[in-house]
Structure 1
Amino acid sequence: MRRDQPPRPLAVGDVVAVPSEALGSWTASQVTSIDAAAKCAAVLELDWSGPEPATVADLGDVQPLRLSHHRWGGKLSHCNHGWVLPKSFRVIGSLPPLVTEPSYSYSSEWGRGEQLARQRHWDSGDREDWNAPHALTCTADELDVENTRGVVQAGVKHLTVRGITRLDCTRLVAAFPDLTRLSLSGNLGTLTSAAALNQLPWLQGLTISDLFGMDASDCLLPSHVPEVEEVSLYGIPADYAAAMRKTWRPHVRHGVELDVRGARKPEWVAANAVNPLRDWDGREHIPRAGYRKALAQYKATGDAFLAEITGGEHHGNIAEIGRAFGAAINALDSRSSFIETVEREELFDALDFLADEAQTAAGRDLTAARAALIEGVDSIRDW
């Protein structure tokens, strides 16, 4: 497998077709450019759906899909994706690229007709939001309520569960036996019996984020889930991550997008249980030294804030603590410019966490003190 070419054969102009659950038929798109350095492909969705096509000729007079629903304003459905052509897609021929301008949009998942379904829903005159058929998004608590009823939800194909503290995968599989896509996320939550996910024979995509409790024996196995074409893991146990990488890396050439990052050892999990900036550890564009210094400044700010609360809560002093924090982060960011929109929000979330911890320790309302801290940060920050 050459590193300067997509793992599955793919060229500019190729037209690819895929069955669409959203449309109940097949749909198609065209590769308009390939960036070997970035390992991505620009893909233009086509305004077409129908029975499985054998060749490009079966599509008729194809046109690019233009989106006018909601606030798209007639823009092309043209997006950059990872250059691994998912195994459910197949090349049916080639045409001169229907557009030559670059795309500035990015998405990890190749489109499977969802945008075309939304556009047709809009064109019908229905202005209610279109929801993907067979999809369910819920919290772990909501899922637990359904599980206690013992209801098998065979109609659900796409399941997203957020806010997981603890989840038994055996019960999940029993309740949702026909899943094709599964996304699970928590906040250092625990998955138990993760090997049970091998009992989902139609599974195509698996995403797990910030969950632990799995080990190498819980590895998803290609022989059990042969339809899988996307494995995305972040913030997971190190031995589970290693097993998944080893098992699925040989399948990338067959159309499996594999993304495994943020492998953590048990010691890291224990040390970071109350660290709101832990996701910065290992994030691609954040220097390791920058993360360590930001965390040290955050901890120092927390200590100073709690000491001031204990000593009498002078808002002028608290604002100065905030200014010191803002200035320190300014200095860190000036060296490597790693604080973007997400990191800025995470820093303010961390300050909220800090204030919540202090409020719990003090046993009284600290709304005014929290506001003084934030005002101090805002008065000086340039991130």
Structure 2
Amino acid sequence: MKPNIGDIYCVYVEQLQRYAACQVTGIKEKWGKPLAAVLELDWTGDKLPTEEELDKMKPLYCDHFSNDQLEHSYVNPQVPKHYILAGNRPPLVTEDTSRYSGWHTGSSMVYQLKWRGIPEDRRRSFKEAAMDNTPVVVGGVQMARSTSEIRDATLQQFSDLSELKQLPCLTRIAADRPYESLLSYVNDNPFIYELRLENHGYTSIDLRSSSLARLILQADGLEELFLNKGLTFLSLTGTPSPKLKIHAEDGGQCLTAAFTNNVPPVCGLERLSGLHVKQVKDLDLGPIVRSYPQLKELDLEGKPGNIVNLQQLEQLTNLRLFSTYDIFGFSGEAFPGPDRLPNLTWLWMESLPADAAKAIKDKYKKEVPKGLDLSITKPRKPEWLAENFNNPFRDWDGRDNITEARAKKAMNLYKKTLAAITTLAEQIRGGGMTAAEAESALDTLVSDYTEAFNKMDRRSGFIETVEREEIYTVLEDLLNGARQQLSAAGVEVDVDKLFDTFDKLRDF
């Protein structure tokens, strides 16, 4: 559905258990495509607004945490199908906006209402401290009074976590070991928005009194977890115990959970709203559908990975958002049609089997005018998969800032370097190469690897932060593999020395 300027739309927000509203204030062309400017409105209701209520609506002005702005952003002009047109009024804001977002009406209202629930004097102190960079000494460490995040290296300097009170703007804490009073501090502080907790040693954790929105938690050994009302994102790392019981508001109805590779049937999240699975290798969708039948959002990211029983997706009748990246092993026929997923408003699939990509696009292209955000990109042919399925630079093929030629060079460079490392190990085992010669050969391989990317980047400078990290990570995996192979052949490899060569030679 295409919006008109002045249109006011309402959407039901589960966290509020009420409707929220937004207004389309403008439509413009950007990057060769139309965008709609959407303003969130300071209104909620248990039913759709009357004409009188529409006349009285005002822009939502958010001042939670460090925000101090209208919620006004450009979005895709396709209105999601679950948004309801309530009326049309002259735009409440005529100024332009430089922000870009998505159709997330209601989320800002959730945070704003949560902020308004904090005592005014504490909110005032937070705002004052946010502008104050005066140095304070906390646990023997000097930092700005406006500090908003504390990591484990700093926490280890503290003898008493009560010293954290000198940092009124603290919103994020990351701990890699147990701290006696950390959980009580988080439960008592309404500003702590995110907690990362690893190697904690707890079998039971109770965060019901906290105001957390995000919790990233190592699940090893944990048997019981009590979550606070208002938590929207839970990431469980490690290996969750089969005994784990999670106590979440309404069975996780307003919660998104994230796992790595496998998805355990976690007891207590039977009404889970969103599920993200990263580093998928082999995934059976059947148990997911049975364990989490109320899902509204499902995001699968492969390493790359294969999926079976994709046809069971049709049982998730509440599903609104479905996305995959580097997921294979399925056909277009296995993917349910629009009649089986009536509430789907977002379908993004990147790097998937070519035949499936065409079939899915054909099935769903007619749904776009009805409000579906559809993106099917990087179709992979069988021959491409056979050659590049395990190539870490496969993602460069089709990336906007990387030409096809450079992507192919990177993938071939990986294969060449990997093959050379395997050959080195074979030569050593066969007695055709000494340890010193192997070390020299590895140094040459690292030099050639680095210079190849220098040459690729020299003309256009296409290597940015993401690509730089990927080049480093791939080299790290290659050298760790070399260390294992050569160690088995009786030769020890100094990986740090080889990375010194990489750092000295790289120009990107």
| TM interval, short-chain normalised | 0.7 to 0.9
Q: Secondary structure at the match of 1:222?
A: coil
* Alpha-carbon distance in 2 for matches of 1:367, 1:100: 65
The aligned residue for residue 479 of structure 2 is 355
Structure 2 residues not aligned, in runs of 5+: 119-189, 192-210, 214-230, 233-252, 429-433
Q: How does 1:247-286 map to 2 (within 5 A)?
A: 247-286=363-402
2:435 partner amino acid? G
2:500 aligns with: 375
Instruction: Note if 1:90 corresponds to 2:84.
Output: yes
Q: Does 1:14 align with 2:7?
A: yes
The yes-or-no answer on 1:336 pairing with 2:336 is no
Q: Which residue of 2 aligns with 1:73?
A: 67
Q: Shift of residue 359 of structure 1?
A: 2.3
Counterpart Cα distance in 1 of 2:72 and 2:451 = 41
Aligned to 1:134: 254
For 1:312, the equivalent position in structure 2 comes to 435
1:64 aligns with 2:60: yes
2:287 & 2:406 partners in 1: Cα distance? 42
> 2:361 matched to 1:237?
no
Secondary structure of 1:85's counterpart equals coil
Q: What aligned pairs does 1:168-207 form with structure 2 within 5 A after superposition?
A: 168-207=284-323
The superposition leaves residues 136-158 of structure 1 with CA deviations (integer Å, 9 ceiling, x where unpaired) of 32325652354xxxx68442122
Is 1:46–2:41 an aligned residue pair? yes
Q: Is the 8 A contact 1:140 1:167 kept in 2?
A: no
Structure 1 residues 271 and 95, CA gap change in structure 2 (3 angstroms): same
**3-state SS in 2 of match to 1:326:** helix
Distance 1:342 1:79, change over 3 A: farther
CA contact (8 A) 2:42 2:57 kept: no
- For residues 54 and 61 of structure 1, do their structure 2 counterparts lie closer, same or farther at Cα, with a shift above 3 Å needed? closer
In the TM superposition, residue 162 of structure 1 has moved relative to its aligned partner by: 2.2
> Structure 2 vs 1, CA of residues 162 and 323 (structure 1 numbering), >3 Å: closer, same or farther?
same
Q: Residues 55 and 337 of structure 1: is their aligned pair in 2 closer, same or farther, counting only changes over 3 Å?
A: farther
Q: Would the alpha carbon gap of residues 198 and 253 (structure 1) be closer, same or farther in structure 2, given more than 3 Å must change?
A: same
Query: TM-score normalized by structure 2?
Result: 0.65
Please identify, of 195-204 and 94-103, the stretch whose mean Cα deviation from structure 2 is larger: 94-103
Question: What is the percentage of aligned positions where both structures have the same residue?
Answer: 28
Task: Determine if contact 1:84/1:255 at 8 Å carries over to the other structure.
Answer: yes
- Tell me the secondary structure at the aligned position of residue 41 of structure 2: strand
SS in structure 2 of the partner of residue 336 of structure 1:
coil
Residue of structure 1 equivalent to 2:107: 114
Deviation at 1:115, TM superposition (A): 2.6
* 8 Å CA contact retained: 1:139, 1:164: no
Matched-pair contact (CA < 8 Å) for 2:311–2:335: yes
The residue type paired with residue 376 of structure 1 is T
1:104–1:134 distance in 2 versus 1, CA, 3 Å: closer
Alpha-carbon separation, structure 1, partners of 2:383 and 2:475: 25
Partner of 1:288: 404
How far apart are the structure 1 equivalents of 2:385 and 2:35? 33
Change (3 A) 1:312 1:67: farther
Shift, 1:303, TM fit: 5.3
Instruction: Tell me the alpha carbon deviations over residues 249-288 of structure 1, each in whole angstroms, 9 at most, x when there is no partner.
Output: 0110000000111221233223223311111111222100
Distance in 1 between the 2:410 and 2:374 partners? Answer: 31
Deviating more after overlay: 211-220 vs 293-302? 293-302
Name 2:97's counterpart in structure 1.
102
Could you report, residue by residue, the CA deviation over 1:139-190 in whole angstroms, capped at 9, with x for unpaired residues? 25652354xxxx6844212222223222222222122222211112221212
> Aligned partners of 1:32 and 1:334: how far apart in 2?
44
Distance 1:218 1:269 in 2: 19
Question: 1:300 deviation in Å?
Answer: 4.2
Q: What is the CA distance between 1:363 and its match in structure 2? A: 3.0
Where relative contact order (Cα < 8 A, 6+ residues apart) is larger, the structure is: 1
Q: Please give the alpha-carbon distance, in whole angstroms, between the structure 2 residues aligned to 1:260 and 1:296.
A: 26
Q: How many residues of Structure 1 are paired with residues of Structure 2 in the alignment?
A: 368
